Every structure is written in C-alpha cells, then in structure tokens.
C-alpha cells in the first residue's frame, strides 16, 4: 500500500511529552498507510532511545547544523507521502481521529495547507497568559492575523501537500519558517484551510529567561516576513488596558504565581521589539 501521509518531527531532548505525542500518533485509526519521520539534532536526554521504541524513521544531524528552514526542508524531503504533516515534539494529538480530520479537507483540490488547532492540556499547571489565550496579544500578531484571513499558520500541527512544499522550499530561515511559508503561498493566492477538528494539546511554561528568549526570537521571526514592530507598538502594548486588567486580576486572585507571569506584559513587548530590530541570530 502506498504511503499517503508522512508525519515529520524535529526533535531535540523531547522528554516525556514526545512519548505522549508518539503514543497518540500511533493510536490513530485510519484506513491508509502513514509513516513517521524524526530529524534529531543532538538529543542527550534519552530521546533517541525513546524513538527506537516506535516504528519511526530516525535521522540525525549535528546540533550546530540545525536551522528551522533547512532542517524542516530536510525532513520533508525524506517524506514519501503525498501529504506531509509537521507536528511539534511537545504537541499531543487529541483523539484517534486527529489524522483523519487533518487530511479530510484535502478532498478539495484547491486546498494546499490544512492548519490544525492547539488546545490547552487538561488538568495541568499552565502559564497564566496562555490560560487566558493572551500570550500573543501584541500588535504584530494581531496585524498578521488580520492580513492573512484570520489564520496564523503554525508547524506545531499542520498538513501540507508535498508538491506544494517542493515548489516553495523554505531555505535558510532562523525563526518562524511557518509564517515564511504562509506568506509565500498566500501571495500566490493558494488556499489554507483551518481545521477545527484536528486538535492537539500544546502549551509552554516559562521562567523569566526563557520568556525573554522566546519573545526575542519571535521578534526576529516577524522580521523574516517583513512584519515591523515599532516603538509606538511596544509602548501601546505595554499599556494595553485589557492586559493591565488581567494582570491585576491575576495578582488579586493569586493566579499569577511566577515572576515570569508578573513581568510578562513588560517582557513580551520589549523583547519582541529587541528581536525585531536588533537580533542577528536565533538564541538557543
């Protein structure tokens, strides 16, 4: 039977979440053949041993060779399926019909990308601003969504026709290669479909250092798609009334438990601006 779908992970020290993700992937109920590929870039935490427990095709590259665009291209180039699914190592598909739901929209030949959705894990301690769905409140995010049919393409949980990827190779991209791809295909008036039934659990926890790093890298990523974040944007976002309201609410209710959650309304705008204007490389 010909492989219809190739699921591609980029892995590095994936930990227990990668195990849960793989368990969910291999629990999918389908009437078609799919393969799973992992490109590992220097794991030292037992990820490689974990991958060996599953029927995964594992390819290894040195950590210093990792690049979001080039490594993604490499993973997709190894795929044999007509549809390639990009999934993050910490994203856990929801239900045994996730894969069927993800590829169903491709019955429409005009659709070239299917974007799944992320939902918050149940029963876990979550980052305060993630829980409120306000992590991406800053103006560059809102502007991108408004200008791109209310879709923010994300390789966390996404499917692409392999022939369309071949026509739009990513090349060297330091950050936000998914937005680079989205920009290219939408400029060609190709169609992205948002599939609300293809869900994956996904969230992050941050300390102050990892939050600042994340936001600075994100700011640089926006520059890759010519999305400018100005000083006035930064100031307006720091003093955003909705954010200030939820900041005070979190303090009063003690839902804000971490310094990173308390400082988030300042850290995010400042480091998005820093990355957008001054970053020269991805911060690991």
Residue with tokens 């998914």: 178
181 and 231 fall within a common domain: no
User: With helix as H, strand as E and coil as C, how does 17-44 read?
Assistant: HHHHHHHHHCCCCCCCEEEEEEEECCCC
Q: Are residues 168 and 221 in the same domain?
A: no
Q: Residue 2's pLDDT band (boundaries 50, 70, 90)?
A: confident
119-157 pLDDT, tens digit each: 999 888 999 999 999 999 999 999 999 999 999 999 999
Classify residue 69: in a domain, yes or no: yes
Query: Which tokens sit at 239?
Result: 């003093």
Same domain? 83 vs 144: yes
Q: Is residue 282 part of a domain?
A: no
Structure-block tokens of residue 84: 């390639």
Q: How far apart are the C-alpha atoms of 139 and 243, rounded to whole Å?
A: 13
The first and second tokens of residue 130, run together, are 């993630």
Mean pLDDT, residues 90-118 taken together: 98
The three-class DSSP label of residue 8 is: strand
Of 201, 234, 257, the residue that ends a domain is 201
pTM above 0.85, yes or no: yes
Under 8 Å between Cβ of 89 and 71: no
Mean pLDDT of 65-75: 98
In a domain, 66, yes or no: yes
**Do both 188 and 103 map to the same domain?**
yes
Question: Within this chain, do residues 122 and 165 fall inside the same structural domain, yes or no?
Answer: yes
Give the range of the structural domain holding residue 257, as residue numbers without chain letter: 208-277
**Concatenated DSSP letters of 48-96:** HHHHTTTT-EEEE--GGG--HHHHHHHHHHT--SSEEEEE-TT-EE-ST
Is 33's pLDDT higher than 80? yes
Total of domains in the chain: 2
Question: Per residue in 148-189, pLDDT tens?
Answer: 999 999 999 999 999 999 999 999 999 999 999 999 999 999
Residue 152 forms part of a structural domain: yes
Helix runs in 168-207, H state only: 177-187
Is 154 in the same domain as 219?
A: no
Q: Tell me how far apart the alpha carbons of residues 139 and 237 are, in angstroms, rounded to a whole number.
A: 7
Q: What are the C-alpha distances in Å from 267 to residues 133, 231, 251?
A: 17, 14, 17
Segment 57-64 shows an average pLDDT of 98
Give, as one character, the DSSP assignment of residue 188.
Answer: T
Percent of residues, the chain, with pLDDT higher than 70: 100
d(CA 22, CA 36): 9
**For 246-276, what is each residue's pLDDT tens digit?**
999 999 999 999 999 999 999 999 999 999 9
| 120 and 239, same domain (yes or no) | no
**68 belongs to a structural domain:** yes
Are residues 143 and 262 located together in one domain of the fold?
no
- pLDDT of res. 180: 98
Query: Does 186 share its domain with 236?
Result: no
Residue 49 covered by a domain: yes
Q: What is the DSSP string of 99-164?
A: HHHHHGGGGSTTEEEEEEEEEPPTTS---HHHHTT-TT-SHHHHHHHHHTTT----TTEEEEEHHH
SS3 label, residue 5 = strand
126 C-beta neighbours (distance < 10 Å), count: 15
**Is residue 283 assigned to a domain?**
no
239 CB neighbour count, 10 Å cutoff:
11
pLDDT digits (tens, 9 = 90+) for 202-249: 999 999 999 999 999 999 999 999 999 999 999 999 999 999 999 999
Q: How far apart are the first and last CA of the chain?
A: 41
């Amino acid at each position: 039977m010909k492989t219809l779908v190739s699921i591609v992970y980029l892995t590095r020290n994936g930990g227990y979440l990668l195990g849960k993700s793989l368990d969910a992937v291999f629990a999918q109920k389908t009437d078609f053949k799919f393969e799973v590929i992992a490109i590992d870039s220097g794991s030292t935490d037992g990820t490689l041993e974990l991958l060996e427990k599953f029927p995964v095709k594992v390819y290894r590259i040195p950590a210093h060779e990792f690049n979001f665009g080039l490594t993604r291209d490499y993973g997709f180039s190894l795929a044999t399926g007509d549809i390639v699914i990009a999934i993050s190592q910490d994203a856990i598909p929801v239900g045994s019909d996730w894969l069927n739901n993800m590829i169903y929209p491709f019955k429409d030949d005009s659709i070239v990308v299917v974007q799944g959705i992320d939902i918050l894990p149940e029963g876990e301690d979550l980052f305060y601003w993630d829980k409120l769905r306000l992590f991406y409140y800053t103006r560059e995010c809102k502007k991108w969504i408004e200008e791109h049919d209310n879709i923010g393409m994300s390789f966390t949980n996404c499917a692409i026709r392999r022939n369309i990827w071949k026509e739009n190779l990513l090349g060297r991209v330091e950050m936000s290669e998914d937005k680079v791809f989205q920009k290219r295909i939408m400029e060609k008036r190709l169609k992205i479909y948002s599939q609300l039934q293809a869900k994956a659990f996904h969230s992050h926890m941050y300390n102050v250092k990892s939050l600042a790093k994340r936001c600075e890298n994100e700011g640089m990523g926006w520059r890759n798609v010519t999305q400018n974040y100005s000083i006035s944007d930064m100031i307006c976002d720091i003093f955003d009334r909705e954010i200030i309201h939820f900041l005070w609410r979190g303090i009063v209710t003690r839902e804000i438990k971490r310094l990173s959650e308390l400082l988030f309304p300042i850290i995010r705008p400042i480091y998005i601006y820093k990355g957008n204007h001054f970053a020269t490389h991805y911060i690991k």
